[in-house]
Amino acid sequence: MSGSLAPGLARQSMHQSRANSVVSAKYLFQASPGIQTGLLHVKYPSKFGEKYSKGRARVAKRPGRIMSPVVVPLAVLTTNPVSGQNAWKFNIDGNSDAEVIVTSAFGGTSFQIDIQVTNSSNSLTLHWGGIRGGQNNWILPSRRPHGTKVYKNKALRTPFAKSGSKSFVKIEVDDPAIKAIEFLIVDEPQNKWFKCNGGNFHVPLPQQETLSSNVSVPEDLVQIQAFLRWERKGKQMYTPEQEKASEEYEAARAELLHEISRGITIDKLRERFAKSDEQSKTREARSKTHEASVPEKKSKIPDDLVQIQAYIRWEKAGKPNYSPEQQLVKLISSEFEEARKDLQNELDKGSSLEEIRKKITKGDIQLKVSKQKKRRTVERIQRKKRDLMQLLNKHTARIVEEQSFIASEAPTAIQLFSKSKEEQDGDAILNKKVFKLGDKELLALVTKPHGKTKVYLVTNLLGPLTLHWALSKNAGEWQVPPKSVLPHGSVLLGGACETEFIENYLNDYPEKVQSLEIEINEDSYVGIPFVLKSGENWIKNGGSDFYVDFSIEPKKRSKETGGGKGTAKALLEKIAELEPEAQKSFMHRFNIAADLMEWARDAGELGIAGILVWMRFMATRQLIWNKNYNVKPREISKAQDRLTDLLQNIYKRSPQHREFLRLIMSTVGRGGEGDVGQRIRDEILVIQRKNDCKGGMMEEWHQKLHNNTSPDDVVICQAVHSGADLESAIANCMGYKAEGEGFMVGVSINPISGLPSGYPGLLEFVLDHVEDKNVEPLLEGLLEAREELRPLLLSSHDRLKDLLFLDIALDSTVRTAIERGYEELNDAGPEKIIYFISLVLENLVLSSDNNEDLIYCLKTGCFRRHLDRTGGANWTQDINLEPILYRKIERILGWSHALNMLKSKDEHWALYAKSVLDRTRLALSSKSEHYQRVLQPSAEYLGSLLGVDEWAVSIFTEEIIRAGSAASLSSLLNRIDPVLRKTANLGSWQIISPVEVVGHVVVVDELLSVQNKSYGQPTILVAKSVKGEEEIPDGTVAVLTPDMPDVLSHVSVRARNSKVCFATCFDENILNDIRAKQGKFLCIKPISADIVYSEVKDGGWSGENSVDSRQDTGTPSLTLVQKKFCGRYAISSEEFTNEMVGAKSRNISYLKGKVPSWVGIPTSVALPFGVFEKVLSDGTNKAVADSIESLKKRLEKGDFNVLGEIRSRVLDLISPTPLLSIGLFYAVTALDHKSHGWQQVVLGVVVCLSQVEQLKQKMQNSGMPWPGDEGEQRWEQAWTAIKKVWASKWNERAYFSTRKVKLNHDYLCMAVLVQEIINADYAFVIHTSNPSSGDSSEIYAEVVRGLGETLVGAYPGRALSFVCKKNDLNSPKVLGYPSKPIGLFIKRSIIFRSDSNGEDLEGYAGAGLYDSVPMDEEEKIVLDYSTDPLVTDKKFRHSILSSIARAGHAIEELYGSPQDIEGVVRDGKIFVVQTRPQM
């Protein structure tokens, strides 16, 4: 804000008493920047003064700055005056000196007293006051240094500021009545008073200079100078005793006279104050006119009422900002006068001044004020053009094994004692508290097993020790315990009892401890008070009795918490141990948290999560904030600073933890108002819980306000929209200290260096628009501010903490603004909603550690404004606040491809936007799952230790997510989703397997969790999660899910093959309605792209869909023929036969030379049937074979857990000689030729190696690399991959599938097809007959980036899908654009594909059950579709999709039946890697 009414108000109020004012003057005045220059001229008479004056010279460059010392002191003794009129030096306590410098300004009417103490401690305070002429009693000056407190209304106490070994304090005195100051120096913690020879230090102030009496100063200048004096004194409200208007006025006159005596003319003074002689004359004229025009009657109105009324008028006018010229000229004569007229009208109506005062406080005075628009910099900023990839963070937190950082900390004897008692009493813990006894400890543990209260006390303090104790029925009282509870040997003494501690050892632990136990059968006692007696010494708890509470609810460590699994368990248990101490005050809690931060950092992400959970429990009032402990605010602030400093340092060193560190800082707060925003949001969550609100935070809260406003709402309602925390954070960073509200201007204190050029203007824009109803310009400004700030957050800035709190405040304001803007989206078109989505997504990117996926969502799905091509901070005016879409498009960067398509009337724009929406949802889901995985176990375990309410624990992570940008983004996605589905004609369902069914509704979280289950009646499963690789349980007739498995995924194929209805539902309301029918029978009927469902009453279904009838008709009679080893370990594709390999290998061999020349077929070799069994039977693997045989017997008995063990044992197989690397030949022939039998050994090896050479030769002849040529390690990689293919015979999905159709699992044989991996640009799967519609005239295909495993495996997201009519293969129609976030890529390598005899069976979908394993690990790449020509280039997409469709049609014609085809695209060329009959 640039100005106010202040000078004018000051002119007319300096001579009036403010005794009866109901509003503090700090709310009425604000200084004009135009008149805050050149006020002080300071001379320093010593070296210390010269040094200090240089600092003041620097300060003078920032007008109006007030140095604000902070607390830190020291003190000593005695005095020793030094020569010099204005300087004194005192020796206090040996090596410490106190030096006092007095400097004057304005002819002695204003003084500065600088006091410096050398070699000081950290806890000094100045105890001081002023002395009037001829008096001895102290008066309390109204102008006081920062941090000064009034002591018993008799003195002031100001803390010293510490710098190195010196402590400083500065006092400014401008009361002409004060002739001297007196002081003492106090060291409060040590209770030391440092005096001057037993009395007060006395510092006389120099006498005022005598000025010429024939010089006069115009009264208007005196009035302005009087206002400046009031401002310099901190704009304080005076009591009648403090205020002497005439003295203040005369002091101002004296200062100006002093300036004139130094040669400054009155014109210069006017120029300084008003910037022009003409304005000064105008002001004088207006002032004289005003004085002449004020009726005598008006003087009856006290000026304090006029000031208040002027303030009310300013508020009613919309709190406008005024220029300095307006303040000094227009407003003084008009606004002040209008306020007086308002009050005069009330007097004329017969109201008394007292009645007017009452009316004014209620706002009942009638006034005519036209609301003025705030003077703003611009109406809308222009965003700078940036590369979004500069926002990329790829920091992934590591999970640290707990042993790595706590192994060195062996449990103490006291901890072992506690653990044994907790286990003994079943963890029914009432209280656990540790007291410090010097360097020793006393543990008090209270349990309640079987209804009996037990108190255990144990200490490592040795020697005779007595417990002097009682019991309490009211907390803290001493009542004699009944004899029934006295431990053996106890003695009753009046109102207490004494019991001796007993020495003991624990499990041969070398440290001895002493303990005792008290058992209490009555429930009427609430605690135990006690003291200790060691010899003749009494031991207390910091001067008070020890006390242990019984009334706390039992803290049972629920088995559901997993015993701390998935947490930094030791850290959480330490937090729980220290919680009783932390409950004393925020100071204790923050200091304890600071002590634990390094431990948390060393524990990795789980350690940081533990601190976050603890601080969040505190912030949401689940933990006690203060428990009968008095602590000073500055002590809390010091502890808070210590903790946030540590958080700042970890933020610098550990970028992988920054996201959680920001959350911790938002719960701790910066102090002052800096954490208001987050705490308001936390309060809203509390209100929502009370009112059972489950949806969007701010939206539902606002709805609740309309329906049912509670007292809680009233307290926070105004604060929610005020942006007070943002203003505080901005003021702190920009170097302004808020001195009030309304017109109050800031005072420069310590601005942050290195801020971007134009940044203050950007923040001013944000503050100007923070309450706007139209939030779009505000959001743009907030995000631009965050983008500009980001480089500083990544640096080691010396004030990083303040920058972080500013960024947190900006982030919080974005969330509040977007939630406030929901209303304006109700009737908005899709382009505006998508723009809002992009803004919130950008905000989430700026707040996330691992944000690569979010950035690609932003790049492909949104648009942003940017600055003009000059790239500068060009703040331009955009008159149109609601520009149409095309105006926006002209000014954007990275704008949505969907909106480009919309502009060109491309019918696919909604399809594309839907794919971006789906990917964004997946990114949010991934983020939510990460939070749940990392935070929720810690919340549950720590919550159980601290006795936190179960409901607060259960929704802990949910509330953190709901309080962030992710929840706002999710809400916006829900708004646009139905619009996109309607536009793209997607409906509410995607039907993967269209089968009409009747079944019993069962709701499950994951299909995977029930895939091995058998349902006894036809069952409709509603599964929240379906990944794509699961089996469908027996008895299931339908699977409905909100998840998005590919149409050609394994589970989709199994559903179609088993005649199970399978569909994805996009409408959460529909799905919730079906979930609500759990336990009832529904009829599910797919119709086109929709599903119709209806409830079937008991007896209303015929049973034709029963499990037995479906199994009788749907399950074929299948028989496996056991294959035998053919005597060969490797064969080429020309040798593939039915007896040696499966259909996968034979089909690929059949295609060679028969498909069109533009379709590539990779060359292949194979390890035929029986090789696995041959290797297993080799003598070198006898132990493995025996183990597998034993495990198979357990499997036959129904122990399915052994499947994983069998796979593990297969990986232990040793390669027999024929499969060993050629390197073995050299090892054998290196044997000593003289050794017995060496010729036979070498001959035998050579015979075997001829077959290895054959495998090598076959692979090389087909153009495939031989792994052994690259070294033994490469062969080991290949050998491991082969074993993994064999082991997949026992994966759960395959085993239960064969078991379901009653195949003899022992007869299942596994050949291995070996192919060189084509480093694909794209992979595809084709079904030459549309599987969803059953239309045999239509080809259906799906395409993904990279390798095809993301298409057929359990990878989230959708592939690009399309259909193509066989009679028009040049016209593919896209059904959906890709949303898969991950692509798999690999260097030149070999893949070993499973090829079982189970894949040859007609009517059984055995394909995809077993694993194909590449020799090298694939690289996971986060996909950027904004650079993918398949998405962005229409011609390229048409060419590729048409080629895929033609290849599929050619292969179908070759076989004469529908085919399921897999292939890849490399440099535009189509390769087919396998085909099989379509199921």
Q: Which of 522, 472, 510, 516 is nearest to 498 (CA)?
A: 516
Q: Which string of b and e fits 412-432 if b means at least 16 CB within 10 Å?
A: bbbbbbbeebbeebebbbbbb
* Sequence-separated (6 or more) residues with CB below 8 Å from residue 690: 710, 712
Q: Which entry of 1050, 1236, 1438, 1449 is annotated as an active-site residue?
A: 1050
Q: Confirm if 533 and 539 have CB atoms less than 8 A apart.
A: yes
Q: Confirm if 378 and 878 have CB atoms less than 8 A apart.
A: yes
Half-sphere exposure of 1265 (CA within 13 A, CB side): 17
End-to-end CA distance of the chain: 73
Q: How far is CA 1101 from CA 997, 999, 1016, 1081, in A?
A: 10, 9, 16, 9
Q: Confirm if 672 and 731 have CB atoms less than 8 A apart.
A: no
Q: Which of 927, 673, 687, 931 is nearest to 809 (CA)?
A: 673
Q: Confirm if 821 and 769 have CB atoms less than 8 A apart.
A: no
Handedness of CA 1462, 1467, 1470, 1471 (dihedral sign): negative
Q: How far is CA 712 from CA 492, 716, 717, 735, 860, in A?
A: 52, 7, 9, 34, 43
The C-alpha atoms of residue 145 and residue 630 are separated, in whole angstroms, by 25
The C-alpha atoms of residue 158 and residue 124 are separated, in whole angstroms, by 9
Q: How far is CA 746 from CA 3, 63, 66, 497, 763, in A?
A: 10, 11, 11, 63, 14
Beta-strand pair 466-469/1390-1396? unpaired
Query: Residue 237 CB: number of other CB atoms within 10 A?
Result: 17
Q: What residue type is 1393 in one-letter code?
A: R
Query: Residue 679 CB: number of other CB atoms within 10 A?
Result: 18
Q: How far is CA 12 from CA 299, 325, 345, 756, in A?
A: 11, 18, 20, 42
The C-alpha atoms of residue 173 and residue 175 are separated, in whole angstroms, by 6
Tell me how long the chain is: 1479
Q: Backbone phi, then psi, for 984, in 5-degree steps?
A: -90, 5
Q: How far is CA 1267 from CA 1257, 1270, 1311, in A?
A: 12, 6, 19
Query: Residue 742 CB: number of other CB atoms within 10 A?
Result: 17
Q: Confirm if 1404 and 1294 have CB atoms less than 8 A apart.
A: no
Q: Confirm if 290 and 241 have CB atoms less than 8 A apart.
A: no
Taking the CA atoms of the chain, what radius of gyration do you get in angstroms?
A: 41
Q: Which of 1061, 1057, 1064, 971 is nearest to 1023 (CA)?
A: 1064
Q: Give, in degrees to the nearest 5, the angle at Cα 1134 between 1130 and 1139.
A: 65
The C-alpha atoms of residue 1141 and residue 1123 are separated, in whole angstroms, by 9
Structural tokens at position 161: 């500021």
Q: 1050 catalytic, yes or no?
A: yes
The C-alpha atoms of residue 1249 and residue 1252 are separated, in whole angstroms, by 5
Q: Which residues carry out catalysis? A: 1050
